[in-house]
Amino acid sequence: MQSIIDDLNWRYAVKKFDTKRTLNPKDVDVLAETMRLTATSYGLMPFRLIIVDDHETKNQLRDASWGQSQLSDASHVFVLCSIVQPSRAEVDNYMQLISKEREIPRENLNAFADNLMKKLENSPNLSDWSARQAYIALGALLTVCASRRIDACPIEGFDPQQYDQILNLAERGLHAVLAIPVGYRAKDDKYQFVKKVRLAKEDFVISKS
Ligand SMILES: Cc1cc2nc3c(=O)[nH]c(=O)nc-3n(C[C@H](O)[C@H](O)[C@H](O)COP(=O)(O)O)c2cc1C
């Protein structure tokens, strides 16, 4: 059986995708579920996922990403968007959801709701906090992609304001944080043949003092 370490060594940040290959809808769904099921602080999920698979929008995203071809050539582009100002409304919706799913009275959740509201009110940069949650989903996505031999490239190199415009994010209280083109590597993407560069284990796992 293939080990997870083999999967992680197989993975690399793809620079050139095979334009002829597309993901099947089942795989797209598994990858979306991977991100939906990720851990988040308090479970609030202060980010959303947009899945782009049409050529026109993918080309627009490429133009807003310094021309990086992964955006136009990959089968699908996942865009993770943070909720800029998670507020009382998000907390109330979340409490309703817990109450419904776990069949507990809403008022039993008052202490948790207050605690969460305090956390939001006292966070100096809520937008950053939301964005950090999206990176947890990115980590999970890359690992699951590798385990299914699906290729991806995390992309931070884009103009978030342009993304916000292209995807109508601002009016929904959202802001683009990460783009992740997914698909299959081109046979001649030279980056698949270069050696991975990582710190030695002993330089990475260091002693506590
Ligand atoms: C948050 C994040 C943002 C990244 N942004 C870009 C990017 O804009 N363009 C790109 O080609 N690679 C991008 N990368 C890929 C990294 O350069 C790559 O993961 C790193 O060099 C290690 O190589 P490997 O993933 O192939 O092992 C990004 C990676 C991460 C985690």
* CATH code for the domain of 107: 3.40.109.10
| Residue burial 124-155, b: 16+ Cβ < 10 Å; e: rest | eebbebbbbbbbebbebbbebbbbeebbbbbb
What's the whole-number average pLDDT of the chain?
97
* Per-residue pLDDT tens over the stretch 102-139: 999 999 999 999 999 999 999 999 999 999 999 999 99
Query: At how many degrees (to 10) do helices 25-36 and 126-147 cross?
Result: 140
Note whether residue 83 is domain-resident.
yes
Mean pLDDT of 148-156: 98
* Per-residue pLDDT tens over the stretch 42-88: 999 999 999 999 999 999 999 999 999 999 999 999 999 999 999 99
The pick from 153, 190, 195 for probing ligand 1's pocket by mutation, whose C-beta has the most ligand atoms within 8 angstroms, reads: 153
pTM exceeding 0.75: yes
Q: Is there an atom of ligand 1 within 6 Å of 13 CB?
A: yes
Q: Is there an atom of ligand 1 within 6 Å of 163 CB?
A: no
Note whether residue 68 is domain-resident.
yes
Note whether residue 34 is domain-resident.
yes
Note whether residue 209 is domain-resident.
no
Structural domain that includes position 68: 4-204
Q: What is the pLDDT of residue 64?
A: 98
Q: Is there an atom of ligand 1 within 6 Å of 153 CB?
A: yes
Tell me which residue has its CA closest to atom 30 in ligand 1: 154
In the chain, where do the E strands start and end? 47-52, 76-83, 151-152, 174-183
Residue 98 CA to ligand 1 center (angstroms) comes to 36
Q: By C-alpha distance, which of 31, 34, 32, 127 is closest to 82?
A: 127
Tell me which residue has its CA closest to atom 12 in ligand 1: 155
Burial of 200 (0-12, 13-18, 19+ CB in 10 A): exposed
Note whether residue 195 is domain-resident.
yes
* Paired tokens of 64: 């807003």
Q: Is there an atom of ligand 1 within 6 Å of 196 CB?
A: yes
Q: Are 106 and 196 in contact (CB under 8 A)?
A: no
What is the rounded distance in angstroms from the CA atom of residue 58 to the CA atom of residue 62?
6
Q: What is the pLDDT of residue 2?
A: 64
108: Cα separation from own chain's centroid: 32
Q: Tokens 């995807």 identify what position?
A: 167
User: In the chain, how many domains are there?
Assistant: 1
* Paired tokens of 37: 């099921």
C-alpha dist (Å) from residue 151 to 13, 111, 113, 126 = 8, 43, 39, 32
* Per-residue pLDDT tens over the stretch 163-184: 999 999 999 999 999 999 999 9
Q: Is there an atom of ligand 1 within 6 Å of 17 CB?
A: no
